[in-house]
Structure formats: C-alpha cells, structure tokens
Amino acid sequence: MGALVGLLAGAGLLLVLQATTAPAPAPAVRGPGALRRRLDAAGLRDLSVPRVLLTCLGAGAVGGLVMLVVSGSAAVGLAFGVVSAWLPLGAVGRRAGRRRSELTSAWPDAVDDLASAVRAGMSLPDAVAALAERGPEVLREAFASFAADHRVTGSFDLCLDRLKADLADPVGDRVVEALRLSRDVGGTELGRLLRTLSAVLREDARTRAELLARQAWAVNAARLAVAAPWATLAFLSLRPGALAAYDSAGGVAVLLVAAAMSAAAYVVMRAIGRLPRDERVLA
C-alpha cells in the first residue's frame, strides 16, 4: 500500500513539474486582415492599411464639409461624409475586381508560354523568368521581380514564394505549386499538365465572361436604384433652405433609415450577383 501511495505521489509531482517547465505554446499566427487582402488583390502591396484608413477619414471629412457648406444641414453633411469615407474602399474593390478579371483572362496565355518553353527544353527558372518579357502585360511586373530575385538569390523555392505573394491570385498559386512540385520530384509530365491547365482556365474564363455579361444590366440597374435617392438629395441641397427639415429629429431618423435600407439593399444585391470565385487555399 505504501509503495502504491509513493508511486502516485511521484507521478503527481512529475506531472506538476512537467506542467511548470513545459515551453509556452507558440502564439497562433494570424493571417492578413480583409483590407490587407483586398489591397494585395488590387496590386497595392506597397500601400499600408493605416494610410488607406487615413485616406478614408480625409475623404469623409472633405465630403462632409463640402455638403455642409452647400446644404447648410449638419445631418446631410454627416450622411455624405460617411458616403465619401467609403469611396476609397470602393475604388480599391473596383481595382481588385478589374485586376482579377485581367489575371483570369491572362493566365491561359501565360501557361501556354510556359508549356512551350518547357517543351523547347528551357529550364524551369528560365521559362518562368522569360514571362517578364513575352508574357501577358498584366503579369510581366511580377515575373520581372521573380527574375531579379532569382538572379540575386539563386533559390527557386524562395523566389516562387515571393512570386505568389506578388500575384496574390488563386490561379497563380496553383501554377506556382505545380512548378515547385515538378522541380522537386523531377516530373516529366509538366508540359502536358500545363496544357491541360491552360485549357481548363480558358474555358472557365469564357464561361465567367458570359455570365458577367448577362448579369451586368441587372447589377448596374441595382446600383443606380441605390444611388438615385442620394443623388436627388444632393441636387436638392443646391436650393437654399430646402434641407432644413433634415436637421430635426424626424429628419435625422429618415436619413438613418434611408442609409440603413440603402446599405442593406446594396449588400443583398452584391450577395445575389456575386459569382463564386477561387479562394487562395495554397497561399
């Protein structure tokens, strides 16, 4: 009995000692925020998040002050100040969408160039670096950075990681990982893989362009419907005293309800009209 008690006491002391001397768990690595991801997708990697937020605050202050002077209504000036503060974020989102569309249409040609270079006997680093000169225009800057990095470091894997960060594109991630895998295991089917990937990407781009063309009129009409009341309010502000009613409690409530309904309608419209897109699972 005494031996059992001693054994249990020793095991308890061992557990206590292990708990007090174990290294602290490594903190969880948080990924980039939503705004940072949007800036990367827009090709604005050099633009910091605080700078964008300061730009939004400045745009909101200027827009609100201008409408306050024009309309003479503090409530209307505040409402348009909020709208003006959102404009830089909207511009970043439009730039990201435009860049995403350009990349979607450019990748099939880039993959075809890679497949031709590999079939001609070029090494993988040389084939990738050659896209800086003969690849699609939207991709040349990223591949020029890859070529410069590879000349300096000579590390193919490290340069591929930087290329993925510069592109910030799910299709680019798949292409880069296919190149890395082929380099590591010495695959002989890289040319066929790239040609198959090019065909799939070209078909996906054609289908997506057709869907976007069909829904463009509906999306534009919804945007016009959301913007029309605020454009009318802006025109009314040109008449002196026309918006004095909005400085009352009832007028402020009307503006708040209208803003909430406009925001909700815009979010719902974007959710309904959004096409599914690839996520960066290999980032």
pLDDT per residue as tens digits for the range 90-137:
888 888 888 888 888 888 888 888 888 888 888 888 888 888 888 888
Amino acid 250: pLDDT: 81
Amino acid 186: pLDDT: 61
Tally the C-alpha atoms within 13 A of residue 221's C-alpha that lie toward its C-beta.
6
pLDDT per residue as tens digits for the range 15-47:
555 555 544 443 444 556 788 888 887 878 788
pLDDT band at 59 (very low <50, low <70, confident <90, very high): very high
Average pLDDT in the chain: 79
pLDDT per residue as tens digits for the range 176-201:
887 887 777 665 677 777 788 888 88
Torsion angles phi and psi, residue 98, rounded to 5: -65, -40
Given a cut of 80, whether residue 231 has pLDDT beyond it is: yes
Q: Where are the alpha helices (DSSP H) in the chain?
A: 2-21, 34-41, 49-71, 74-119, 124-134, 137-153, 156-167, 170-185, 190-236, 249-273
Given a cut of 50, whether residue 255 has pLDDT beyond it is: yes
Given a cut of 80, whether residue 241 has pLDDT beyond it is: no
Residue 186: Cβ-neighbour burial (10 angstroms; 0-12, 13-18, 19+): exposed
Given a cut of 60, whether residue 10 has pLDDT beyond it is: no
Amino acid 17: pLDDT: 54
What whole-number percentage of the chain has pLDDT above 90? 4
pLDDT per residue as tens digits for the range 150-162:
888 888 888 888 8
Amino acid 62: pLDDT: 92
The pTM of the full predicted model, rounded to 2 decimals, is 0.68
Given a cut of 90, whether residue 86 has pLDDT beyond it is: no
Tally the C-alpha atoms within 13 A of residue 229's C-alpha that lie toward its C-beta.
16
DSSP 207: H
What whole-number percentage of the chain has pLDDT above 70? 83
Q: How many CB atoms lie within 10 A of CB 191?
A: 17
Average of per-residue pLDDT across 214-237: 80
Average of per-residue pLDDT across 248-272: 82
Spatial distance between the Cα atoms of 158 and 154, rounded to a whole number of angstroms: 9
Spatial distance between the Cα atoms of 247 and 244, rounded to a whole number of angstroms: 6
Amino acid 111: pLDDT: 86
pLDDT band at 56 (very low <50, low <70, confident <90, very high): very high
Q: Are 156 and 125 in contact (CB under 8 A)?
A: yes
